[in-house]
Amino acid sequence: MDNQNLKAFITVAELGSFSEAADRLYLTQSAISKRIAQLEQQIGKRLFDRIARQVSLTEAGGELLPRARRILQEYENALQAINDLSGEASGTLRLAISHHLGLHRLPPILKQFAQQYPNVTLDIEFMDSEKAYEQVLHGDSEVAVITLALEAHHNINSKVIWNDPLRFICAQDHPLATLKQPALNNLAEYSIILPGINTYTGQIIQRLFHKEGIPLKAPMSTNYLETISTMVEVGLGWSVLPETLVRDLHVMPFEAITIERELGYIHHTKRSLSNAAVAFLELLGGA
């Protein structure tokens, strides 16, 4: 089977869209369709159902998907192993990086890596931590630098690099800013703007209030912390954010409550790390 055809198939299956797959692979939609058609012709089965602009896997497609991932992974592992025989860091290093870390923690590390290892091509995708986790789990990225998951997975190795304190914040003119010793019950009286409940950061906050039996008032949510900071600044609600995003916001003094998230990297337990990945993690570990 042609690797490029398999890559197109996997990408369409993951995104549920031929057009989005074309964008991700920097191809035209017709080129994606042609690759899928070639694969279907070779297999003798239709791989996708296309109904009312919805794209879904057929039974044959569902059977092929995990095997196609393994085939591509083995192929890429073989190429990397050959490159690594020289003992030098070279080839392509596929990284998945959370938006927040890509903005606030990693730029100097990526710059240093590019300068020290010019023979390595960095293939970086910026995305939510949860999606990056899945990328590593499925073998699509070699390493992810993210907010670490709250629960361990037997196929994922993780290491904490930074402890990231979270602060209760509101606008300077918000009613909560007048309280000298606020309590969690006080916060429940006002609207909250949360990171999405599907995010690790959102889960940390929700667990804190659930543990105390305190309901949150009509939460708005978005996965982008920078957006939350802006909405809090204009007075739409209060939130809990990393110190790096506090800026001109009021930090509420919760001295008895300490919450933080762990930031670091993950890689798959069953995947041998390339020389490039080892070099990158060494730099990251010294951050």
Residue intervals in the chain for CATH 1.10.10.10: 1-65
Domain 1-65 carries which CATH code? Answer: 1.10.10.10
Of residues 69 and 223, the one with the higher pLDDT is: 69
Segment 166-177, tens digit of pLDDT:
999 999 999 999
pLDDT at position 105:
92
Segment 100-120, tens digit of pLDDT:
899 889 999 999 999 999 999
Tell me the C-alpha distance between 36 and 20, whole Å.
Answer: 14
Is the pLDDT reported for residue 286 higher than 70?
Answer: no
Residue intervals in the chain for CATH 3.40.190.290: 164-260
Of 72-86, 123-137, 139-153, which gets the smallest average pLDDT?
A: 72-86
Instruction: Judge whether 114 and 79 are in contact, CB under 8 Å.
Output: no
**CATH architecture designation of domain 164-260:** 3-Layer(aba) Sandwich (3.40)
pLDDT at position 62:
92
Q: What is residue 231's three-state secondary structure?
A: helix
Give residue 95's pLDDT band: very low, low, confident or very high (50, 70, 90): very high
Paired sense of beta strands 156-170 and 120-127, if any: unpaired
Tell me the C-alpha distance between 75 and 87, whole Å.
Answer: 20
Give residue 277's pLDDT band: very low, low, confident or very high (50, 70, 90): very high
Of residues 235 and 196, the one with the higher pLDDT is: 235
DSSP 238-250: BEEEEGGG-TTSE
Tell me the C-alpha distance between 277 and 93, whole Å.
Answer: 7
Give residue 249's pLDDT band: very low, low, confident or very high (50, 70, 90): very high
Cα separation values, 158 from 89, 148, 161, 265, Å: 22, 8, 10, 6
pLDDT at position 83:
73
pTM of this prediction exceeds 0.85: no
Is the pLDDT reported for residue 245 higher than 90?
Answer: no
Is the pLDDT reported for residue 287 higher than 70?
Answer: no
Structure tokens at 132: 């990056």
Cα separation values, 41 from 16, 44, 90, Å: 20, 5, 36
Segment 18-65, tens digit of pLDDT:
999 999 898 999 999 999 999 999 999 999 998 877 899 999 999 999
Count helices and strands in the chain by DSSP H and E runs: 11, 11
